Amino acid sequence: MRIAIVGLGPKGLYGLERLLANLAEAEYPFPTEIHLFNKSDSFGAGEIYNPAQPSYLKMNYVNGYINMWPEQKPKPNVPHPKSFVEWLNERKDEFPNDSEYTFSSRATVGRYLSEGFNELLENCPEHISIFKHVGDVIGIEQNEDGYSVDCKVSDDNVPLRVNAIQNLLIATGHPCINDADLVAQDTHIDFIYPVDLRLKGISSGSKVAIKGMGLTFIDAVLALTEGRGGKFVADETGDLIYTKSGMEPEVLYPFSKSGMLMIPRGNTYGKSSLAPFYFNKESVEYSETLEGKYDFEHQLLPLIEQDFTVVYYSKLFSSKGLKLEVLKDYAEVEFQIENFHEQNPDLPRFDFYSFLEGTISDGELNKSTLEFIRMSIQEAERGVEESAFAAAADAWRHLSDLFNELYSFGGLKPQSQKTFLEKYAGHLNRISYGPPIENMKKIEAIAKAGLIDFSFSQNPEISYSSKTILSNNKEEKVSVDFLVDARVPKIQLHRCAGPLYSTLLEQNLIIPYVNRLEGRLDFRPGCLAINEKGNPLDETGWANETITFTGTPTEGLTYDNDSLSRQRNDFVSDWAKDLTKKILQEEPETQLRSNSI
């Protein structure tokens, strides 16, 4: 059996680990080849966690949650699988301040993943041969021998071809870019990673617009400042002061549709949280569906809003020595809240939609954004156990598990899915999965040093000529030398499939997923059609079990593909188990045929 895994970031690594664990326990050790394809030599870590990247690029995921080894059976085929914290503890001389409660650099996590990958190779059973191929997979062709995988290993026009692949796990990242029309312009950077390479052409003293204000925006800012020799010094209060190196751009102009920055977060590992009370399986079961599909705004969002409100006021009540009684009848909870505000008229009311969308004064965008940064840092430092704001920001993390179950594989009505993705998903991501406090303090310090101007941050008008020009609602304009796209591209097969997915589409090995409901408008989220095991479907609904997708390509049929999570949207465990069974069934038949010849 010859198997290929395309993409060896964490998702591909997890697939390899499960496959080796299952094959190691197989009753008969049949010869198996596994071909691994990765864009770079960063096998196991991928580009996002490449160990060679700068150390100032931080995780937004606390160390205690990171573990590349699963707890389920079969056990990993290595002698001593270690969690990330155990791995760090063995290197205390190198990482003296790191613990389960801190945030490490992505490079450090990449080292952990890469060493885990190497450990898998070192303990690989003798009957399994593993081949590594570095380069872009640009095509997969189906033929009578199975599949041929074409990999561009250099600038030569002739790719490496590996033939007779019988089974494929495809764990690629994002296949396309955001604005294909702008790629040819030298002053447009369509993707920032790796930052040392992609941003080096931005000259010092230039004006730079940055599209997107999420985690990638923070990485871009740090690469153009700290990455160019700028220094941070903590003052007596713990806040940071930035000292310029002189190699930075003159000013950075970030912008997005909402103009809102992410909410920073402190340690949440081991912290108690209020279990979902209203948005739970029991409550959802009372909702009538149409062919098994929910309406997000009318059926799910009201329950989510109630849980957010309860989390916020539970902390606020506690700060006044009171206890909010969480009761099934939400009207009784509202009655308690009304009484609370009558007794505390100076405290602002919690409004779920204002919290979700954020409130920045469009009159003084730069000033109000800096005020938001300061407030959000202070609340994050108070933490989820004391701050009502921080606790509410953390709530979606605990609600999203159930939402993922309801959302996955067309669980929302077509136009309701469209509404969720366009109107709510970005805001929920912004409030819940923000950067560590340290990184937001750095953004604040860089802005105070005059290197970031938020005056055009809220959905500016953009015009392109010899330069990019931003205009805000005060009729102010700024001409910039470079435009950096700091958004993570989403899979959009109908718009920009990329070389690999284009060939898969041409051969009808995949088709775009369409969310359909009789009598309603269809919706195409951009992903491919797969079943619940990750196998691609054709127009008739037939599943091709020789190909499995995991991670980014499944977004749209799944929600929140956390690249490090082993539990969320785990397609690889079943893939490895089913493939091992198939090998055991087919190989004896092959052996019998060869013996009879």
Which tens digit of pLDDT belongs to each residue from 280-320? Answer: 999 998 889 999 999 999 999 999 999 999 999 999 999 99
Residue-wise DSSP of 565-592? -SSTT--HHHHHHHHHHHHHHHHHHHHH
pLDDT confidence of residue 155? 63
Q: Show the low-confidence residues of the chain (pLDDT under 70).
A: 154-157, 174-185, 362, 587-597
- C-alpha 178 chain-centroid distance: 16
- Please give the model's pTM, rounded to 2 decimal places: 0.93
Residue 250 parent element (H or E)? none
- List the one residue out of 306, 522, 536, 266 whose CA is nearest residue 413: 522
Q: What is the DSSP letter of 538?
A: -
pLDDT confidence of residue 176? 60
pLDDT confidence of residue 175? 64
Do residues 99 and 86 lie in contact, with contact meaning Cβ atoms separated by under 8 Å? no
- List the one residue out of 380, 57, 44 whose CA is nearest residue 226: 57
Residue 221 parent element (H or E)? helix 215-224
**How large is the C-alpha radius of gyration of the chain?**
25
3-state SS class at 147:
strand
Residue ranges of the alpha helices (H) in 328-387? 330-343, 352-357, 365-382
- List the one residue out of 145, 10, 159, 171 whose CA is nearest residue 547: 171
Cα separation, 168 vs 436, whole angstroms: 37
Q: Which domains are assigned to the chain?
A: 2-174+544-553+567-596 (3.50.50.60), 180-262+436-485 (3.50.50.60), 281-360+381-432 (no CATH)
- What letter represents residue 304's amino acid? I
- List the one residue out of 322, 497, 525 whose CA is nearest residue 408: 525
Residue 234 CB coordination number (10 Å): 11
b/e per residue 198-211 (b: at least 16 CB within 10 A): bbeebeeebbbbbb
Cα separation, 97 vs 102, whole angstroms: 8
Cα angle 485, 490, 493; round to 5 = 125
Residues in the chain: 597
